[in-house]
Chain A
Amino acid sequence: DAKTTQPNSMESNEEEPVHLPCNHSTISGTDYIHWYRQLPSQGPEYVIHGLTSNVNNRMASLAIAEDRKSSTLILHRATLRDAAVYYCILSPPPQYSGTYKYIFGTGTRLKVLA
């Protein structure tokens, strides 16, 4: 299974944009890229996902490299509530199981400074 590599931690000032990188150099052509975040004492929360094209939603933007070997989650204006662990996850298509499984890495702990 393809793996993801993320920095262990990052810091950002409040109200400034944050770019969270993820490397997935062994990604397959049909693997979706999902981003989740996990606040303290909570379960992971869906942020955004994409396959090949850049994506925007109300929470964030996802920029996917042309060769798909890396992606970047962009938070346009970080707030204190965005402090969390952010996971970049690959979701390969099912081969034998009939379901898409997530492969979690260790994530990036984002600290937002007031």
Chain B
Amino acid sequence: NAGVTQTPKFRVLKTGQSMTLLCAQDMNHEYMYWYRQDPGMGLRLIHYSVGEGTTAKGEVPDGYNVSRLKKQNFLLGLESAAPSQTSVYFCASRNARGAGNQPQHFGDGTRLSIL
């Protein structure tokens, strides 16, 4: 059972470089989320998607873009990386059925350092 898989697990970038983080889920979930976690803090929502082809901004969307071309994949892009984007990035997914009682399933994170 893979669940939510994030690639890569680690990456070091130089300021100004671009990259894409990939999140894949095999649970046929409609909703997917991207969070960032800075040291000593809880997770903050960057962007999310309620279905294939749809995305929306979360709490801290600036400097990031996302795409959901396939239901199982949710991509997070950094067009021009900045040191302030050094963080651990988590992807999550959940079932659309039910109300607020459906749990989110998280990946193990991507540790991104920007020099």
B34 CB–A CB distance under 8 Å: no
Q: Which residues 11-52 of A have a CB within 8 angstroms of B?
A: 30-32, 34, 41-46, 49, 51
Closest A residue, CB atoms, query B100 = A32
Interface of A is mostly: loop
Closest A residue, CB atoms, query B9 = A41
Q: How many B residues touch A, CB cutoff 8 Å?
A: 29
- Could you count the A-B residue pairs with CB atoms below 8 Å apart for me: how many are there? 63
Contact at B108–A106, with CB atoms within 8 Å? no
A106's contact among B35, B42, B56, by CB below 8 Å, is which? B42
What residues of B have a CB within 8 angstroms of the CB of A43 in the complex?
4, 90, 92, 106-109
Contact at B48–A101, with CB atoms within 8 Å? yes
B115 CB–A CB distance under 8 Å: no
Contact at A104–B105, with CB atoms within 8 Å? no
Contact at B42–A100, with CB atoms within 8 Å? no
A97 CB–B CB distance under 8 Å: yes
Closest A residue, CB atoms, query B48 = A99
Contact at B106–A45, with CB atoms within 8 Å? yes
Known: A32-B101, A46-B103, A104-B42; 4 extra A-B contacts, CB below 8 A, are: A44-B90, A49-B101, A51-B100, A87-B42
- Give me the 6 closest cross-chain CB pairs, A-B, nearest first: A104-B42, A43-B106, A32-B100, A46-B103, A91-B100, A100-B100
